[in-house]
Amino acid sequence: MKIGFISLGCCKNLVDSEQIMGLLKASGHQIIPDAKQAEAIIINTCGFITSAKEEAINTILEMAEYKEHNCKKLIVTGCLPQRYKEELIKEIPEVDRFISIDEYSHIGEILSEVLQEKVKSVYGKEDRVLSSYPWMAYLKIADGCDNRCSYCAIPLIRGPYRSVEMMDLIKQAELLAKRGVKELILIAQDTTRYGTDNYGKRRLLDLLKELNKIKGFHWIRVLYMYPDEIDDELVMGMKDLEKVLPYFDIPVQHGNDKMLTLMNRRGSKESILRTISLIREHYEMPVLRTTMIVGFPHETEEDFNELLEFVKETKWDRLGAFTYSLEEGTKGYDMDEQIDEEVKEKRLEILMTLQEKIAQENSEKLIGQTLEVLVEKHDSLTHQYKGRSIFSAPDGVDGEVIFNSKESISCGSFVMVKITAAISHDLIGELVSV
Ligand code: SF4
């Protein structure tokens, strides 16, 4: 059967999508890129915040229209049905089956029944379909979350934190390396907590040591680190591992103690500053990325100004921000002093304008340096190449390195590029060596 697969949301959801696609492919079905040509469409959704839910609903409605023509079945999986299954069944009858995350253990049987075609039954045991570039892959080291941040619905959707056994991760990673993956990216809701549930202690560093030994990987990147779990041992240990990049993705959410407490975040502004100093002390050129939330209940102008000062002081290389999204079931939902949407939007704009300036200044410091770049795109007409340096994770927000070369370079290879100009997160350079 020809199946169109649409994966929405974050890279953790993408790994689930790749596993479901792997199951379908191993069962003899064909995953096709154009949903219009598909006999069945599966949409793996995100239900984290309002904008993600809106995107999911719009996609479902759009695909429901296709179903009237060629397509026989429309199936929706993931976070949205996990959270709102009953309502969705009532509101969107065009969907043949909503499959929630807690049904994934027997998703093969459910798909076999809905598609009326055989689908293998053991989720997670077949080779994943790598849906982004073949030289990079995510490795989901845990699912769920125990950090009950008061704005976040993830623990309600994904359940408690569950680390994947280390041996299982090593096997998965070895397979990915054999398939040609050169950049491995570790993800979880909180990667620094890895091992606390099944091994009784934090074991991210032990895992990195094992992954670092695997032949084939050139870069290993870690995303989603919780600030108070980054200690001397982890920073120094990561530094000793040559494949592990000095890339620290630390979503801190705010820079004001009152707001951090209300958000139920562990640690304080001071402790976050200490963590940043620790990293900057040990590495010559670390990459620091974070996310912030503006407009959480009770955030005054003064609190917001403190956040701006914090951002000026910390000078994150990358900073993404969201306006607070009211999510039922979370503590923030019942808080009084909710902030007006217009105020939230204004604060977001001010914060991002400030960050734009900081990002530009940080990027300009790289002019004259030679960076290793993983080549990912090529325009044969203009001879222009695009790739990523250690400064950019592959999730589309960190910018690219752009350079020209008349000499042909294969995508997926590493080259050295001297940086000559910077436009925000994007760097322009000249090829030095292949
Ligand atoms: S750490 Fe906080 S924000 Fe992140 S997934 Fe867990 S509860 Fe949500």
Backbone angles phi, psi at 432, to 5 degrees: -105, -50
- The secondary structure of residue 421, as a DSSP letter, is E
Instruction: Write out the DSSP string of 83-129.
Output: HHHHHHHHH-TT-SEEE-GGGGGGHHHHHHHHHTS-----TTSSPPP
| Per-residue pLDDT tens over the stretch 117-141 | 888 878 878 889 999 899 999 999 9
- Beta-bridge partner residues of 40: 3, 73
Q: Give residue 197 CA to ligand 1 midpoint distance, Å.
A: 16
| Per-residue pLDDT tens over the stretch 70-121 | 788 999 999 999 999 999 999 999 999 999 999 999 999 999 999 998 888 7
Q: Give pLDDT, residue 86.
A: 93
Indicate the pairing of strand 401-404 with strand 384-388. Answer: antiparallel
Residue 340 tokens, joined: 């007006």
The residue to which tokens 């619905």 are assigned: 153
From 83, 152, 325, the mutation candidate for ligand 1 (largest count of ligand atoms within 8 A of CB) is: 152
Q: Which residues surround ligand 1 with Cβ inside 6 Å?
A: 145, 147-149, 152, 154-155, 189-190
Backbone angles phi, psi at 125, to 5 degrees: -100, -15
Closest protein CA for atom 5 of ligand 1: 189
The whole-angstrom separation of Cα 221 and Cα 388 is: 13
Closest protein CA for atom 4 of ligand 1: 189
- Strand ordering across the sheet containing 247-249: 247-249, 287-294, 318-323
Q: Give residue 331 CA to ligand 1 midpoint distance, Å.
A: 13
Q: Give residue 265 CA to ligand 1 midpoint distance, Å.
A: 9
Name all domains of the chain by residue range, CATH numbers in brackets. 2-115 (3.40.50.12160), 136-364 (3.80.30.20), 370-433 (2.40.50.140)
Q: Is-contact 421 428, C-beta < 8 A? A: yes
Nearest Cα neighbor of 370 from 405, 409, 401 is 401
| Per-residue pLDDT tens over the stretch 271-319 | 999 999 999 999 999 999 999 999 999 999 999 999 999 999 999 999 9
Q: Give residue 27 CA to ligand 1 midpoint distance, Å.
A: 35
The verdict on pTM exceeding 0.85 is yes
Q: Give residue 262 CA to ligand 1 midpoint distance, Å.
A: 14
Q: Does pLDDT of 59 surpass 80? A: yes
Q: Does pLDDT of 395 surpass 90? A: no
In residues, how long is the chain? 434
The atom number, within ligand 1, closest to the CA of 148 reads 7
Indicate the pairing of strand 287-294 with strand 247-249. Answer: parallel
